[in-house]
A and B are shown apart, each in its own frame.
Chain A
Amino acid sequence: MTAGIGTARGVAHAPGRLTRMLILGGVGLVFAVPILAMIEFTLRRGLVGGYDFQRWIELFQNGLTGEYAPILAALVNSVGLAVGTVAIVLVLLVPTMLLVHIRFPRLRRTLEILCILPISIPAIVLVVGLAPVFSVLARYVGSGVWTLAFAYGITVLPFAYRAIQSNLDGVDVRTLSEAARTLGAGWAGVLLRVLVPNLRRGILAGAFIAVAVVLGEFTIASLLSRVNLQTALVVVSKNDPYSAVILSLLALFVAFLLLLAIGRLGTERRRPARAFTPTPTTSTSGGDQS
């Protein structure tokens, strides 16, 4: 999350070192306190007082069996949803963005507004609109959990769009694809040999953010009565709050690793990184734990 600070160098009115530390510290605190509190909670030794790792050890020794088995199923659901959502991003969003960028540049503003729109719509409102759609959908394709991927495809749009667009802005996609075409590449060749390699970072970042969002999603799944990781955790927390918190921490950790990987994408690679602006949306990584 500190990636943005590095770019402050050289900016005329960059805040002073102290100011930056204060801001960073403040923001860090807001994130750290709940997480630390969760960790503290899982280490408590019941009524006896004091701390140990008993619950963590138990959970890891027994695995997701017995009363935790639903969580395993839910995790599988969530991972499946993540894959489906990423597929939607890759198959629908990426080609659409490229097409608009190269062939219909006038539609760029429209597409941007359309893609950013979901962020301004509360999940509850979204569900109110989606419920009838899903009831129709259920009649044709059933009410499997995977259908949620359609809803998630919409909720991740703003994040995926920003990630891909920032990469797109740094590459002269139009000239590169025209160069490839004059050299004999058809549309598939242009896409796979020129565009995807050059937009790799943006596409991967968009996909990872999509995964992080899906793993943390609760509201839509809960209101549409589907089971995913977060809804299962809530169910478990009713009997066993400690294990639920441990599992939430693990989910957070996975999301955190994903975001770290995104940060890496910008610096790795043999050519100098074109400024990959970490999107402000990364703060949603934790999703809406209840």
Chain B
Amino acid sequence: MSHTETPSAQPTARPTAQPGTGSVVVFAGVAKRYGTHLALTAFDLTLQAGELVALLGPSGSGKTTALRVLAGLESTDDGRILINGDDVSGLPTSRRDMGMVFQSYSLFPHLSAGENVEFGLRMRRVPAAERRERAAAALALVGLDAHYGRFAHELSGGQQQRVALARALVTRPRVLLLDEPLSALDAKVRVQLRDEIRRIQTELGITTLFVTHDQDEALAVADRVAVMRDGRIEQVGTPEELYTRPATPFIADFVGLSNRLPGVVRHGFARVHGVVLPLLDPSHADGPVRVYVRQEDLTLVPAGQPGDASSNTSPAGTSLAGTSPAGTSLAGTVLLSSFLGSLRRTSVQLDQGGTVVVQHDVRDRHEPGAAVVVRFAGAPVPVEAAI
């Protein structure tokens, strides 16, 4: 892929960033090798001014590497990195003007929280009085103004990461980099701090790259999510786009919870046990495929209810794909139903073989062994050619 080519999934960059509202960051065809292993290849991504982009992907997909390359902590083997149009590839980390929060606790143990926050200002030779004032303000921003004199070992994990966030923000960096800053925290603090990061980020309008392997986290806070796989970006889009229109089965599988069902593609439609579903990519070649159907795109109805249309009894040959109401549901037996607080997840053994998991309202209960009908909502599905 050539470096001049603009990534297809990106909207055109806004021409100029307003001062104080973040910078435009462009990765253009960046490659990074560790020995023979390609940690990043043809990595293209643009962050608009003030935008929060989450970098999502499985372990080892190169998320941290992308972040470190932007921070200058790793060199690139190919490609360019632009901030507001300037190539920063040659700049050392200390001159790139980035704020970074690390996955592991990284407060300087010999300094108090306040002195930690002051560190970046000290490096920029800000006078002592102003330094103290700005550090206190930054700590107030993360709700820790009362902890100025505390040392790292006197703070909880969540508080340490807040101080680290204040330390990264106090210099008003051009870009904020977050490498799984919440992964060491427990679930409740995670959600709280994640929302707080989003609030502060919006307030300051700072361009932010947020690395995570937690899809909930990514979908919840990001303006856009970039899903990585094997050192390159598989899809970039808003959380809604990613969720409703996954570009590839990998994305469908990675974002949200999907059932994987055997099927056949013919004339732009997928057929699963006689149920006909529209394809996300109608140009997909005919043949046997794996079909990804989201758990919440299925509904459960007790067998024999009006309108359930025991379609499975109709011959699978009905060819009026999508238009026939008779091609939208399958009969099965409930295997197991689990209560998950705000929703319920039920697995169903299909009469025609295979199991599906259905996510539905907690108020609908289906006892194991009950005969049910699984109805397909008919949302376009991604498919993957079966070998």
Contact = CB atoms under 8 A, between A and B. Distances in A.
B171 A178 contact: no
Contact of B109 (A183, A185, A186, A198): A198
B108 A181 contact: no
A179 interface: yes
Interface stretch (B45-53, B91-99, B202-210, B345-353): B91-99
B100 A179 contact: yes
B364 to A, nearest CB: 49
A189 interface: yes
A99 B8 CA distance: 42
Given A179-B100, A271-B151, A272-B153, A184 B94 contact: yes
A175 B110 contact: no
B94 A186 contact: yes
B246 interface: no
Contacts of B110: 197-198, 200, 271
Given A182-B99, A182-B100, A184-B171, A172 B106 contact: yes
A126 interface: no
Given A176-B108, A271-B109, A272-B153, A185 B123 contact: yes
A181 B68 CA distance: 12
A154 B21 CA distance: 56
Nearest to B104: A175
A271 B123 contact: no
Contact of A179 (B95, B102, B151, B153): B102
Nearest to A190: B94
B104 A183 contact: no
Indicate the member of B71, B98, B108 with the most A CB atoms within 10 Å: B108
Given A176-B108, A198-B110, A183 B167 contact: yes
B73 interface: yes
Interface string A143-185: 0000000000000000000000000000110011011111111
Contact of B94 (A172, A185, A200): A185
A270 interface: yes
Contacts of B96: 182
B97 to A, nearest CB: 8
Contacts of A182: 71, 73, 93-94, 96, 98-100, 168, 177
B73 A189 contact: no
Contacts of A193: 119, 122
B211 to A, nearest CB: 14
A83 interface: no
Nearest to B99: A182
B120 interface: yes
DSSP class of B's interface residues: helix, strand, loop or mixed?
A: mixed
A194 interface: yes
Contacts of A179: 100, 102, 106, 108, 164, 167
A182 B177 CA distance: 10
Nearest to B73: A178
Nearest to B110: A197
Contacts, number: 73
Contacts of B124: 184
A272 B96 CA distance: 35
B102 A183 contact: no
Given A178-B73, A181-B94, A183-B119, A271 B99 contact: no
A198 B153 contact: no
A255 B110 CA distance: 29
A171 B109 contact: yes
Contacts of A271: 109-110, 151, 153
A184 B120 contact: yes
Contacts of B106: 172, 175-176, 178-179
A172 B104 CA distance: 9
Interface string B52-92: 00000000000000000001110000000000000000001
A189 B122 CA distance: 10
Contacts of A172: 104-106
A276 B123 CA distance: 31
A197 B108 CA distance: 10
Contacts of A197: 108, 110
B109 A189 contact: no
Interface string B298-341: 00000000000000000000000000000000000000000000
A174 to B, nearest CB: 9
B71 A183 contact: no
A37 to B, nearest CB: 45
A19 B94 CA distance: 56
Interface string A193-223: 1100110100000000000000000000000
Nearest to A183: B120
Contacts of B95: 184
23 contacts: A172-B104, A175-B102, A175-B106, A178-B93, A178-B100, A178-B102, A179-B102, A179-B108, A179-B167, A180-B108, A180-B119, A181-B72, A182-B93, A182-B96, A182-B98, A182-B100, A183-B94, A183-B168, A184-B97, A184-B124, A186-B94, A198-B108, A198-B110
Given A182-B168, A186-B92, 13 more contacts: A172-B105, A176-B106, A176-B108, A178-B100, A182-B73, A183-B94, A184-B120, A184-B123, A186-B94, A194-B108, A200-B110, A271-B109, A272-B153
Closest 9 CB pairs of A and B: A184-B123, A183-B120, A181-B93, A182-B100, A179-B106, A197-B110, A175-B106, A184-B94, A185-B123
